[in-house]
């Protein structure tokens, strides 16, 4: 038996998961490459990730929309938790199926104690003084408040009297008020 019929095979999407960079405690950047858009085109692409193996589009995703050409793309994964192992794959969707790239794994950074210095206490009066400090590193987290704390006991914490002098890294100045004359305070 001989057949003279020709059959054309349908091209399918081919996609790769790329490098993972800029890993922080809560985010990272992931690359991907579309090697072939297939015969049907791509109406959605991006990355999917989870804390379990082989993430799918049923897990967390970025949606970078449709695509009509091959090439690289990147996604910023956000909302991650510190010191957590995650799996990520590139994906692309046509009107029939979802293609996935190879799985890559990464671990988000751990949060550590920020590096902070305290400035000398100056401009001392009967009921006030000046100080401040410098937040040098964030420790991988977000500095939402900075200031100084003081008490009549050694090693005061934010649970004692304190100032809030902005947020983030950098130098700051603090006005210490409500002091009593003739009393020793620790900053």
The pLDDT tens digits for 120-137 are 999 999 999 999 999 999
Cα gap 72→100, rounded to integer Å: 15
The pLDDT tens digits for 51-78 are 999 999 999 999 999 999 999 999 999 9
> Last residue of some domain: 55, 77, 107?
107
Its sign, for the CA torsion 23, 77, 53, 141, is positive
Q: Number of C-alpha atoms within 13 angstroms, CB side, residue 80?
A: 31
Whether residues 77 and 138 share a domain: the answer is no
Cα gap 145→143, rounded to integer Å: 6
Whether residues 120 and 70 share a domain: the answer is no
> Last residue of some domain: 61, 84, 107?
107
DSSP 11: P
Mean pLDDT, to the nearest integer, of 171-179?
95
Task: Round the average pLDDT of the chain to a whole number and report it.
Answer: 93
Q: Return the number of other C-beta atoms located less than 10 Å from residue 95's C-beta.
A: 8
Whether residues 65 and 136 share a domain: the answer is no
pLDDT value, residue 142:
85
CB contact set of 7 (below 8 Å; sequence gap of 6+): none
Q: How confident is the model at residue 141 (pLDDT cuts 50, 70, 90)?
A: confident
Whether residues 102 and 144 share a domain: the answer is no
pTM of the model: 0.69
Which residues span the domain enclosing 37?
Answer: 14-107
């Amino acid at each position: 038996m001989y057949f003279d019929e020709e059959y054309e095979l349908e091209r399918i999407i081919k996609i790769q998961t790329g490098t993972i960079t800029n890993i922080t405690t809560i985010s990272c950047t992931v690359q991907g490459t579309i090697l072939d858009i297939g015969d049907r085109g791509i109406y959605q692409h991006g990355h999917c990730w989870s804390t379990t193996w082989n993430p799918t589009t049923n897990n967390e995703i970025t949606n970078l929309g449709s695509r009509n050409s091959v090439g690289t793309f990147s996604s910023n994964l956000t909302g991650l938790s510190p010191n957590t192992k995650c799996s990520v794959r590139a994906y692309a969707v046509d009107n029939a199926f979802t293609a996935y790239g190879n799985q890559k794994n990464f671990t988000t950074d751990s949060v550590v104690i920020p590096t902070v210095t305290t400035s000398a206490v100056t401009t001392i009066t009967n009921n006030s003084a000046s100080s401040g400090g410098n937040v040098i590193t964030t420790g991988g987290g977000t500095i939402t408040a900075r200031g100084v704390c003081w008490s009549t006991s050694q090693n005061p914490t934010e649970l004692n009297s304190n100032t809030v002098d902005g947020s983030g890294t950098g130098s700051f100045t603090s006005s210490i008020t409500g002091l009593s004359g003739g009393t020793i305070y620790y900053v």
